[in-house]
């Protein structure tokens, strides 16, 4: 496959990480940013997936508490 | 109504039940940590860079466990249906339905993740989301067979008839699983490994990937159990509430 070049299309250039009219700020990357941008920005995807996963976990554990409460309530209703 | 098939819905205050819930909660917390480790390993473990595949090779860790989870869930479902047919205890029918439901949810995820993977890996530039790979086709047929199970269930008002007939159907449906997901797709050339006699892994798959893939199988099947456990408990609460409503209005 041909390597990507910013000239491929106008829209790609316009939405690229650096605006066409802007000049890239010189050497402001700290260690955290350098890590996140390495490996083709794979770690950004890891961050997204972890956020989703922790969200699902919060939901699952909240469900646990609600179901346990329902089980108690139903038993209380039934005598 | 005889009493032998009325489920013991819950028994708060019962020591056995409470200690069981504690054991279950410990297992669930373990699953949370385990799966977090799987996700970290899936992203952080260095894998060889292959042409065409590139980072999408990591999809192996997520896409393949969907199918193992589906098969495990359908096995649980068929087992519970068999148990219902032998014992007549409605709890087993509820378990069979919920296992199939959560399993099919994982199957749908397996299908769409495979579509996304193939579209941007082997079918770039073609716009093809559906490529009629034998495994893709058979998996779709498999999900339709289980879709019919839920349609069949919705056709009954009487829960005993629903449980008996859908239980028998479920056993037939389970009998198709090894053929549709295992035997038939291997008779044709396919994007999937295994088509030429290799049981699961391609020769080109790096052994380091097993370090994440096998724990992912365990983790996702455990995650299935977690959701299944919640849904069964909710279904039992729901049924108990229905029964209470029936006692309040016996003519209904």
Does A14 touch chain B if contact means CB atoms closer than 8 Å? no
Residue B1 has pLDDT above 50, yes or no: no
Does A78 touch chain B if contact means CB atoms closer than 8 Å? yes
Q: What is the DSSP letter of B181?
A: I
Tell me the percentage of chain A whose pLDDT exceeds 90: 35
Q: Count how many pairs of residues, chain A against chain B, have C-beta atoms within 8 Å.
A: 59
DSSP letter string, B133-195? -HHHHHHHHHHHHHHHHHHHHHT-SSHHHHHHHHHHHHHHHHHHHHIIIIIGGGGS--SSTTT
Q: How far apart are CA B240 and CA B231, in angstroms?
A: 14
Search chain B and give the residue with CA nearest A46.
Answer: B43
Q: How far apart are CA B176 and CA B168, in angstroms?
A: 13
Tell me the two tokens of residue B61: 């860790």
ipTM of the complex: 0.77
Residue B249 has pLDDT above 60, yes or no: yes
CA distances from B36 to A50, A56, B24, B74, B200 (A): 8, 11, 18, 25, 25
Q: For B160, list phi and psi in degrees, rounded to 5.
A: -70, -45
CA distances from B197 to B90, B115, B202, B214 (A): 42, 24, 10, 21
Beta-carbon neighbour count of residue B90 at 10 Å?
Answer: 18
Which pTM was predicted? 0.82
Search chain B and give the residue with CA nearest A38.
Answer: B44
Q: Which of A57, A68, A74 sits opposite B241 (nearest CB)?
A: A74
Contacts of B226 in chain A (CB under 8 A): 60
**Cβ–Cβ below 8 Å for B234 and A43:** no
pLDDT 10s digits, B57-102 = 899 999 999 999 999 999 999 999 999 999 999 999 999 999 999 9
pLDDT at A18: 58
**Cβ–Cβ below 8 Å for B12 and A72:** yes
Tell me the two tokens of residue B213: 């893939």
Q: How far apart are CA B90 and CA B159, in angstroms?
A: 8
Contacts of B44 in chain A (CB under 8 A): 46
Residue B13 has pLDDT above 70, yes or no: no
Contacts of A46 in chain B (CB under 8 A): 39-40, 43-44
- Higher model confidence: residue B16 or residue A21? B16
Q: Are B108 and B143 in contact (CB under 8 A)?
A: yes
Q: What is the mean pLDDT of residues A30-49?
A: 88
**Cβ–Cβ below 8 Å for B21 and A68:** yes
**Cβ–Cβ below 8 Å for A75 and B40:** no
**Cβ–Cβ below 8 Å for B237 and A74:** yes
Cα radius of gyration (chain A): 24
Residue B196 has pLDDT above 60, yes or no: no
């Amino acid at each position: 496959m041909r390597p990507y070049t910013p000239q491929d299309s106008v829209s790609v250039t316009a939405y690229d990480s650096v605006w066409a009219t802007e000049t890239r700020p010189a050497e402001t990357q700290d260690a955290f940013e350098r890590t996140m941008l390495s490996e083709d920005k794979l770690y950004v995807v890891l961050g997204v997936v972890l956020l989703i996963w922790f969200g699902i976990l919060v939901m699952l554990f909240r469900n646990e508490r609600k179901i346990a409460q329902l089980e108690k309530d139903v038993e209380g209703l039934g005598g | 109504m005889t009493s032998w098939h009325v489920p013991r819905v819950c028994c708060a205050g019962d020591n056995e039940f409470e200690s069981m819930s504690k054991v279950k909660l410990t297992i669930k917390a373990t699953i949370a940590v385990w799966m977090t480790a799987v996700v970290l390993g899936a992203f952080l473990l260095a894998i060889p860079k292959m042409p065409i595949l590139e980072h999408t090779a990591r999809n192996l860790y997520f896409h393949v466990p969907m199918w193992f989870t589906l098969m495990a869930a359908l096995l649980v479902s068929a087992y519970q249906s068999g148990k219902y047919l032998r014992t007549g205890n409605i709890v087993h029918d509820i378990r069979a339905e919920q296992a199939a439901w959560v399993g099919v949810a994982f199957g749908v995820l397996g299908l769409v993740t495979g579509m996304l993977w193939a579209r941007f890996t082997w079918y770039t530039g073609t716009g093809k989301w559906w490529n009629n790979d034998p495994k893709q086709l058979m998996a779709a047929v498999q999900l339709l067979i289980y879709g019919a199970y839920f349609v069949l269930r919705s056709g009954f008002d009487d829960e005993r008839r629903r449980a008996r007939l859908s239980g028998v159907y479920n056993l037939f449906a389970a009998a198709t699983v090894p053929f549709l997901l295992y035997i038939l797709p291997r008779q044709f050339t396919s994007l999937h490994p295994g088509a030429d006699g290799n049981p699961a892994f391609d020769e080109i798959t790096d052994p380091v990937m097993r370090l994440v893939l096998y724990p992912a199988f365990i983790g996702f099947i455990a995650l299935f159990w977690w959701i299944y456990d919640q849904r069964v408990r909710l279904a039992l609460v729901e049924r108990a509430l229905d029964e209470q409503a029936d006692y309040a209005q016996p003519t209904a």
